[in-house]
Structure 1
């Protein structure tokens, strides 16, 4: 497994997703989004799981957009807000209604506990990849050398502090949200223990 083998999809839609993410996400959240796609695509390829790279890439780049001030919602969880942003983005990109629905589903489902890879390979891959990047769950899916390459390309840049701060804010305003559940499940400590915070 090598980083050079993970090719970022090259399309106008993907370029536009990068533009949106670079405009609104912090550097730490932006790199988290790129790493999430990288973990997801590398794992999916290694497992022989068929997935749509463009759909997965757009979802990965936008999956935390609901955490940024411009798209934060005081009424719905951040992943639901992000799914709505992804739907609107996809509409502007000219995607069909079904494809808009799919990218929205993938963004929303990344905070779920179980995603069936047979029913939603992109949702499964993004959920698994964000688990790797945030708390280190299933980090051993990737050899140490590959992890080092990814972290060199996309450094973490203080992700723990920023992410915990965002989730604590979400939890205060939306106590029934997935972010609140994560804070209640000791997110800060689990993030601090992530082996990706202590690369070999």
Structure 2
């Protein structure tokens, strides 16, 4: 898959640094068209929210976070035993470390990706972490849909089409962790396993408490 990246979409400049370009190339190489368009929409939605709320954030780090946030679903980056969020976070951290970025930046991007499916935590952390979660939620479930103008939404969709995203995203996500459904315990991805796997039995935290090895 190849594509020509626009310079500005909905008033948001797409980062064009070496790091951003290489992150895009990895997304194009290892991701799918669905993940590519979703990741770019996520970055734009996140950035617009940051601009609207006058939140100071690093566009390059937010862009890398968006580019890598679902790459843990892909064969290239998927591990046999870690949740896909951690796989993507580890990949992004290794990528940024290879460019000599400081530890603070590595940790920030790691947190943004690892926490992007935990809506009870991510919004309360650093700007890039909170904004990535916002962008993902807006694109996947429409949270904050009315906070964007119709023109902003249309500009973004024109450049990065949804193309049946609602029907395709659940099986796409499932494909990324169907070989390790146990890693979805405690996350919203357990809902995807329950939707896709007949008679799927989730791990239950209450059962874990009651059947712990403690004697009392």
Measured in 1, the distance between the counterparts of 2:124 and 2:14 equals 23
Does 2:156 align with 1:153? no
Measured in 2, the distance between the counterparts of 1:180 and 1:43 equals 25
The corresponding residue for 1:180 is 189
Are the aligned partners of 1:13 and 1:93 in contact in 2 as well (CA < 8 Å)? yes
Superposed CA deviations along residues 78-117 of structure 1, whole A, max 9, x for unmatched, are 0010000001000112112221121111111111123465
CA, structure 1 residues 116+161, in 2 after alignment: closer, same or farther (shift >3 Å)? closer
Task: Give, in angstroms, the shift of residue 154 of structure 1.
Answer: 0.5
Which of 30, 38, 53 is the aligned partner of 2:36? Answer: 30
Query: Runs in 1 of length 4+ with deviation above 4 angstroms?
Result: 184-187
Q: Which moved more, 1:113-122 or 1:144-153?
A: 113-122
SS of 1:51's equivalent in the other structure is coil
Q: Which moved more, 1:20-29 or 1:165-174?
A: 165-174
Superposed CA deviations along residues 24-58 of structure 1, whole A, max 9, x for unmatched, are 11011101110000000011101111111111010
Task: Give, in angstroms, the shift of residue 185 of structure 1.
Answer: 7.8
The alignment yields a C-alpha RMSD, in angstroms, of 2.2
- What is the TM-score when the length of structure 2 is the normalising length? 0.78
Does 2:122 align with 1:113? no
- What is the TM-score when the length of structure 1 is the normalising length? 0.84
Point out where structure 2 has 5 or more consecutive residues left out of the alignment. 1-7, 197-216
The corresponding residue for 2:128 is 122
Greater fraction of residues in helix: 1
The corresponding residue for 2:80 is 74
SS of 1:124's equivalent in the other structure is helix
Does 2:55 align with 1:49? yes
Q: Which moved more, 1:2-11 or 1:64-73?
A: 2-11
Are the aligned partners of 1:110 and 1:130 in contact in 2 as well (CA < 8 Å)? yes
Aligned pairs, number: 186
Task: Give, in angstroms, the shift of residue 118 of structure 1.
Answer: 6.2
CA, structure 1 residues 179+167, in 2 after alignment: closer, same or farther (shift >3 Å)? farther
Task: Give, in angstroms, the shift of residue 172 of structure 1.
Answer: 6.0
